Structure 1
Amino acid sequence: MSRPPRILCVGALTQDTIYRLDELPRGPGKFIPLEAVQNAAGMASSAATAAKRQGADVSLWASVGDDMLGGELIAELVAEGIDCSGVRRVAGARSAIATILVDAAGERMIVPFYDPRATTAPDALPFDITAFDAVLTDVRWPGAAALALRAARDAGIPAILDVDVAARPVLESLLPFATHIVASEPAAAILCGDEIAGPGAVQVLHARTGVFVAVTAGGAGTFWLDMATNAVRHTKAPEITPVDTLAAGDVFHGSFAVGLAEGWDMERTIRFASAAAALKCLTFGGRLGAPNRAETLAMLEGELAR
């Protein structure tokens, strides 16, 4: 493209408190972490960070309380270069928080809290949707996700739905508005049943929606539908030793949106997103480990050379 792609990310903005431990707790007690960080995060916000670092112009539509924390979260993402003019402040609501434990293998345990008063459905979009080249939503603010996805789809803009673990009715309500569905394996199991694995879930979800579907399986790679041949393909994940897998999926989605907005073919887009997610896993701190474009392209070229 002759200009940076313009991406709108819609959904969660939280304060993450992340503790690194040797192993995840197996029962009650007091556990002293090896390291700890706090940062603005959440699925859409972490994806926005990834897209921004990949060279996109990024806007975030999220909802926080009118508390001090809400202002701090917005300021942190503005410092990242993300347009937060559309972030809603809800009087009397608490901004979202999450506590995350990460073990020595990079696996994590997440306990989030979202104030229902902050996630009430919005009345209208705060942006002209035609100003964007792609729209990416998570499932944490369903009313906003539905508005944004529908508007993008109707305008002929990629409407990407990050399908993650949530109540099945929430996931079901958003599927019809997406042009591109990228689901985690656990979320695909909610929609398709535990007995249907990655490739099967891709086929089932495509049969139900008629749109592009991918299912991400962490270190096992990504299963995705080749729309030209109607065949399910598999892209391996780069081989790494993970330090922290928190926000890896979000980095995948943000990087996927950039590739799609730039008009890349789907294989390159998936490989690019996979490389970005793998690089993120090498750094402790959730979204803070999102790589830049040069780092991602270097890993991508290295993987293609193997």
Structure 2
Amino acid sequence: MSQVPHIVFAGAATMDMIFAVDALPTAPGKVLPKAMIQAAHGMATSAAIAATRLGARTSLITRIGDDSMGDQFVAQVTAEGVDCEHIRRFEGVPTPLSAVIVDRSGERLILPYYDKGLRVDPDWIPETLIQSADAVQVDIRWPEAATKVLSLARGAGKIAVLDADTGPPEVILALAALASHTVFSAPAAMLVSGTDSVAAATRELTGRFAGFVGVTDGAQGCFWLENGSLHNLLPPAVDVVDTLAAGDVFHGAFTLALAESRSIPEAVAFANAAAALKCTVFGGRLGSPNRASVLRCLAQGL
């Protein structure tokens, strides 16, 4: 393994319009935002940027349109230090776009739009890129690419992480069977397991898959089984401003920690701290912390 891990991320890309409001709308009408930020997002994209800020060398595989929004997306992600050589752009197709509303408690409402003109065929993804990486991470928004990337990575004996957020259960289950490590969001875990608690979902899903299974539940932290015992590590307590992209930051940090040969408890603690610090800043993934901030948070035992 190289001294600086190289991680390949594959999956979602969006340009997000993020609006800060006092409260999420509950009825038709006009709401005047207190602030607005436009930034490149998407599960894999935000995770790649988070890992880059934390010290990884990263490459992003994703699909966008050949339009002005796409130009902004590539410019922003490139400026973060992510390798954008493997972003495929499609002529005449709009870049995926999300409107995001964040309330004063940090909770959010997301309206994403992915045009059907974005081709799903993953044949253009270079096999050597995956096989030479130290680790890969995929999300469920582009299952065809996730299947290819996970399969190639596992075939090469590499770390292969799945960000299992809410989506079609059959897609999540098929991809989790290919991953070396799967980290579910709590809603996704309970959906695919058919259980009504995070603890029960963690136990059921761990018994179903050969690889590592973890479940994240916001302020309740990350759950996983070790030697048959349920473990739960809470994140640092912070003043929450914006939870958008916190899960993506967790996954990017977790994958980097694994690539650095950290133990599962160490990787979870590192990812918990990164995600918590992100929540203190408005603007989604723009709040991703650097490595020094995360290490300082861990050292202080916050």
Q: Same fold (TM over 0.5)?
A: yes
Aligned position for 2:158: 157
Query: How much does 1:237 deviate?
Result: 1.4
Aligned position for 1:177: 178
Partners of 1:119 and 1:234 lie apart in 2 by 40
Contact 2:195-2:201 within 8 A present in 1 as well: no
Aligned position for 2:20: 20
Contact 2:160-2:180 within 8 A present in 1 as well: yes
Equivalent runs, 1:93-172 vs 2, <5 Å:
93-128=93-128, 129-172=130-173
What secondary structure sits across from 2:244 in the alignment?
coil
Partners of 1:299 and 1:205 lie apart in 2 by 31
Aligned position for 1:92: 92
Q: Which moved further from structure 2: 262-271 or 116-125?
A: 116-125
Aligned position for 1:232: 230
Aligned position for 2:66: 66
In the alignment, structure 1 segments of 5+ residues that lack a partner are none
Contact 1:121-1:141 within 8 A present in 2 as well: no
Which of 268, 271, 291 pairs up with 2:269?
A: 271
Partners of 1:187 and 1:215 lie apart in 2 by 9
What secondary structure sits across from 2:61 in the alignment?
strand
What secondary structure sits across from 1:117 in the alignment?
coil
Query: How much does 1:92 deviate?
Result: 2.6
Aligned position for 2:279: 281
Contact 2:177-2:210 within 8 A present in 1 as well: no
What secondary structure sits across from 2:250 in the alignment?
helix
Contact 2:53-2:288 within 8 A present in 1 as well: yes
Query: How much does 1:230 deviate?
Result: 3.1
Q: Percent identity?
A: 45
Contact 1:16-1:38 within 8 A present in 2 as well: yes
One-letter amino acid of the structure 2 residue matched with residue 223 of structure 1: F
Give a deviation string over 1:118-151, Cα, whole Å, max 9, x none.
1513114225122211100011111101100111
User: CA 1:289–1:54 in structure 2 vs 1: closer, same or farther (change >3 Å)?
Assistant: same
Give a deviation string over 1:141-196, Cα, whole Å, max 9, x none.
1110110011111111111000001122221231211110000001112201252x
Contact 1:50-1:290 within 8 A present in 2 as well: yes
TM-align CA RMSD: 1.3
Aligned position for 1:299: 297
Moved segments of 4+, more than 2 Å? 124-127
In the alignment, structure 2 segments of 5+ residues that lack a partner are none
Query: How much does 1:91 deviate?
Result: 2.7
User: CA 1:236–1:106 in structure 2 vs 1: closer, same or farther (change >3 Å)?
Assistant: same
Query: How much does 1:114 deviate?
Result: 0.8
Which of 234, 247, 255 pairs up with 1:257?
A: 255
**Alignment length (residue pairs):** 301
Partners of 2:147 and 2:238 lie apart in 1 by 36
Query: How much does 1:117 deviate?
Result: 2.0
Contact 1:124-1:147 within 8 A present in 2 as well: no
Report the TM-score when normalising by structure 1.
Answer: 0.95
Contact 1:245-1:286 within 8 A present in 2 as well: yes
Partners of 2:17 and 2:127 lie apart in 1 by 31
Partners of 1:182 and 1:119 lie apart in 2 by 27
What secondary structure sits across from 1:267 in the alignment?
helix
Aligned position for 2:52: 52
Partners of 1:189 and 1:119 lie apart in 2 by 31
Partners of 2:242 and 2:112 lie apart in 1 by 18
